[in-house]
């Protein structure tokens, strides 16, 4: 199950629990409003945990992409310095 699906279900549970809690409070059923409140809080906690994990995964992915870009830049700089040095050697041979 992907993170997006987990957060979608957790949001649904959270809203369902909040709606149940409100409806039970309105109807005067205290124990059901308490259970609805607990369900809403549980949905919120699951949603927050899944978002936290998703953010950590995205940060790690970003770091890897940045490292790859830095390596590519270094490779291009090395290649350019090799080209420059070979051009300089050719100029020295001609002179």
Mean pLDDT of 43-66: 92
Confidence class for position 95, pLDDT limits 50, 70, 90: low
Res. 58: pLDDT tops 90: yes
Q: Is the dihedral of CA 75, 80, 81, 86 positive or negative?
A: positive
pLDDT band at 89 (very low <50, low <70, confident <90, very high): confident
């Amino acid at each position: 199950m992907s993170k997006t699906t987990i957060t979608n279900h957790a949001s649904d549970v959270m809203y369902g629990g909040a709606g149940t809690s409100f409806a039970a409070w309105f109807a005067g059923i205290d124990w059901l409003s308490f259970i609805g409140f607990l369900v809403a809080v549980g949905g919120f906690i699951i949603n927050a945990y899944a978002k936290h994990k998703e953010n950590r995964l995205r940060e790690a992915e970003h770091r890897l992409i940045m490292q790859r870009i830095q390596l590519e830049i270094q490779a291009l700089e090395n290649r350019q310095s090799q080209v420059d040095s070979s051009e300089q050697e050719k100029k020295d041979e001609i002179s």
